[in-house]
Amino acid sequence: MSLGLASAESESQSIQRELITLFSERLNVYVSSGENLFEGGILDSQKFVELMMLIEEQFKTQIDIADFELENFSCVARIANLILKRKNPSTSPYTSEGQFAPSKP
C-alpha cells in the first residue's frame, strides 16, 4: 500500500470517528460507520439539514449541491469519503460516488 493511499484511508477513518462523535454529541444518536442512516430512521429531513450545517461547521468545508444525493449520506463511511473529497478534491482517492479508486502509478 502506498503512503498516499494509507494516508487517505487513515484520514477517512479519522473523519469517520469525528462524525460518529458528532452524531452522538450533537444529534444525540449512536451510529456505526456502515449503518444505513436513512433505513435505520436516524436521518429524516430535519436531521439531514442539521447534519449538513454541522458538517460544514465542524470540517470547514462546503457541500456542493451536486453532492446532495442520498447515497452520499447513507452511512458515516460515505459521508467521510465525501468530506475528504471536498477538502482535497485533487488528491482524494474516492470517486464522486464515494467509491475507493486509487490512482495508478
Rounded to an integer, what distance in angstroms lies between the CA atom of residue 64 and that of residue 90? 16
> What is the mean pLDDT, run by run of 10 residues, along the chain of 105 residues?
61 94 94 92 92 94 88 94 84 51 48
In this prediction, residue 58 carries a pLDDT of 94
Please state, in angstroms and as integers, the Cα–Cα distance from residue 44 to each residue in 35, 41, 47, following that order.
15, 7, 5
Q: Give 35-77 as a DSSP string.
A: --TTTTT---HHHHHHHHHHHHHHHT-PPPGGG--GGGGSSHH
pTM here?
0.77
In this prediction, residue 9 carries a pLDDT of 75
Rounded to an integer, what distance in angstroms lies between the CA atom of residue 75 and that of residue 15? 13
Q: How many Å separate Cα 62 from the centre of its chain? A: 12
In this prediction, residue 5 carries a pLDDT of 54
Domains and CATH numbers, the chain: 3-87 (1.10.1200.10)
